[in-house]
Amino acid sequence: MKYKRILLKLSGESLMGEKKYGIDPAILQQYAEEIKKVKDMGVEIAIVIGGGNIFRGVQAEKSGIDRVQGDYMGMLATLINAMALQSALEQIGLYTRLMSGIKIESVCEPFIRRRAIRHLEKGRIVIFGAGIGNPYFTTDSTAALRAIEIESDVVLKGTRVDGVYTADPEKDATATKYQNITFTEVYEKNLNVMDMTAFTLCQENNLPIIVFDMNKSENLAKLAKGEQIGTLITV
């Protein structure tokens, strides 16, 4: 395998499938099966999942909810998704641990770096929920920070599109895809990959990012083997 340890970043919106909100059981099952293929190859897997299918902190302000309160509500939404994914993974025979940036001992462990690494070394899939436990930080930032903390080889960002494009391919038919691009080029071209905090963390720690289409079967497994899938972002 090209990678010994990976951090997979999934968006909450991806769990909706064709729904307007919530979780599509078929998508959840599909993701669990794709993750199992990689786990069966011997790769250590950590996962961060967003909560946008349930609640977004930044949208709370429009409803008159304080931004900090809204962000904490968003963190709880990520835990709901994390618990759903944990259940789907365990139903197909995988061992998991859910670790949270907020203490909720009844359903998950608090995040402790050494414990997270030990879980990975024992072959458990570790899911990080509730962000980093502080408002004003996105799940992209959580993914970057946790990947650095657990010494992941790469951040795999699963999206609805198959890489980074010159423009939004869903809106611009002339958009072209990058196979490889540097962090500096992403800055200069003002491409939307991750929020700047997450992106800078990856750049400063020489942590590569691969943006790929998670909904296409076998893509995750192909990436684990080192095949050219999506867009690779490096220093």
pLDDT tens-digit map of 81-108:
999 999 999 999 999 999 999 999 999 9
Cβ(142)–Cβ(11) below 8 Å: no
- Domain segments of the chain: what residues? 5-234
The 10 Å Cβ neighbour count of residue 80 is 18
User: Is residue 57 very low, low, confident or very high in pLDDT (cuts 50, 70, 90)?
Assistant: low
Please report the pLDDT score of residue 170 as a whole number.
80
160-165 contact pairs (CB < 8 A, 24+): 160/14, 160/213, 160/214, 160/215, 161/211, 161/213, 162/212, 162/213, 162/216, 162/229, 162/230, 163/211, 163/212, 163/213, 163/230, 163/231, 164/191, 164/193, 164/211, 164/230, 164/231, 164/233
2-6, 58-62, 132-136, 202-206: the lowest-pLDDT one: 58-62
Predicted confidence (pLDDT) per residue in 23-43, tens digit: 999 999 999 999 999 999 999
Predicted confidence (pLDDT) per residue in 185-209, tens digit: 999 998 988 999 999 999 999 999 9
CATH 3.40.1160.10 describes domain 5-234: yes
In sequence order, the β-bridge partners of residue 86 are none
